[in-house]
Amino acid sequence: GDSVTQMEGPVTLSEEAFLTINCTYTATGYPSLFWYVQYPGEGLQLLLKATKADDKGSNKGFEATYRKETTSFHLEKGSVQVSDSAVYFCALSEGPASKLTFGTGTRLQVTL
């Protein structure tokens, strides 16, 4: 079945550092790929998405490119801020019911 593998956290960075959170997936077809973010005490919010190979999703300075050849969707940001501290989930959606399959989440802590 479908699965998503994320790098384990927590990831601790200083403000203005470069961020990469790795995500790889296994799927039988051509899934849509997502990054969701969860701030402390809140639900999940869609951060960005990509629906086909080579698409680049971007939002709030975050980017991720759908790489079918490596089955990856790594999240990047050039300069993180303290306000980016959260848990980040990679997810895919496939099939007629388009259910979401999530990775285990990566906690990001940004310090001054």
With CB under 8 A as the rule, give the number of residues binding another protein. Answer: 23
Token pair recorded at residue 78:
């050039």
Q: Among 80, 105, 108, 110, which residue sits at the site for another protein (rule: CB under 8 A)?
A: 105
Planar angle of CA 58, 66, 4, nearest 5 degrees? 105
Tokens of 107: 């906690």
Q: Is 29 in the site for another protein (CB under 8 A)?
A: no
Q: Take residue 4 and report the two structure tokens written for it.
A: 């998503």
Among 17, 24, 71, 102, binds another protein (CB under 8 A): 102
108, 71, 73: which is closest to 91 by C-alpha?
73
Stretch of 10-18, 21-29, 69-77, 89-97 lying at the interface with another protein (CB under 8 A): 89-97
Answer yes or no whether residue 66 interacts with another protein by CB under 8 A. no
